Every structure is written in C-alpha cells, then in structure tokens.
Structure 1
Amino acid sequence: MNEKHQKSFTTVKSYRPFHSRYDPCKPIGVKYYSTPPNLFLGFQPPNLQQFSAKEALKKGTLWRFFYDYYENPYEKKGR
C-alpha cells in the first residue's frame, strides 16, 4: 500500500445514489455503510495484540484488530 492510501483508509464507506433529473423525489444524498475489519485480513496472523479479559468482554472481541467501533454517520455532530 502506498502512504497516501494508508492515511485515507477507513472502515466506513460512502456512495451517492444515482438521481435522475426526472425523479419526482428529492435526492437522498450520501449513503454510508460499514465494512468489518476482518474483510481486510486474509488470515489471522499469530501474536495479534489482545485486550485484557475484562475489556474483551466489553468490546466483544479478544483481538484489537477485530474491534470495530460504530459511530453513526447520520447523527449530527455538535448536538
């Protein structure tokens, strides 16, 4: 991977649905979807960094790489 691509990597992707000028409804705007981190790892390498047992129960996974915090992109910031 080049350096520019690494800085722009995110598990939240977005797209803008097609909107025809003849469509009677107003445009939807940008749609967002989340991709899980395990899609970007071909196999689980040995010695991955782990959470403590208590923290792993809260996060739902033992391995830090597989933890995916979900932040709702549709919520307005600054409320």
Structure 2
Amino acid sequence: MNTHFKTYHPYASPFDPCKPILEKAYSTPPNLYMGFQPPNLPQFTPLEALRAGTLWKAFYDPWFSPLEPGKGGLPQ
C-alpha cells in the first residue's frame, strides 16, 4: 500500500559530537501514485484552488510535520 509519508534511517557516526537523529520522515506528493489524470476529477473552487495550490482535490497534499500527530503526521 502506498503512503504519503516515508521514513529512512540516516547513517549515524559513532564520532558525531551531537545526538544523532535515527529516523527521518518526508512526504511524497499524491501525483506520484497516479499514472495519468483521470477525466472528471473533482475540482476546488477558484478561491480554494489558490489556497490549496492545485485545482484538483485528488492532487492536494496538506503537508504536516511528523511532530504534529494530531494534524495527520506520523504516529508517535
């Protein structure tokens, strides 16, 4: 199953002076998982489209930080 949040584990050197971040997360846009744009996709109104950054609702991605689990980020 495709998810919009991916995680990876960067290399942590034993000689780093700071505590390493063991897991990092990033968001992938929804258009990566659509091979083509189907006809008759639902659309935002013009004002909503300006706020969302896209005309089509299927391509909207409200990115939230992984540190904000209540807003759709990664579960802690």
TM-score (norm 1): 0.70
Structure possessing the higher radius of gyration over alpha carbons: 1
Structure 2: state its 5+ residue gaps.
Answer: 71-76
Looking at structure 2, the residues matched to 56 and 36 of structure 1 have their Cα atoms a distance apart, in angstroms, of: 16
2:60 aligns with 67
Task: Note the alpha carbon deviations across 1:6-42, whole angstroms, 9 max, x for none.
Answer: xxx431111122346xx21243211111111111000
CA RMSD across the alignment? 2.0
Identity of aligned residues (%): 54
Amino acid at match of 1:70: W
Instruction: Give the aligned length.
Output: 68
Structure 1: state its 5+ residue gaps.
Answer: none
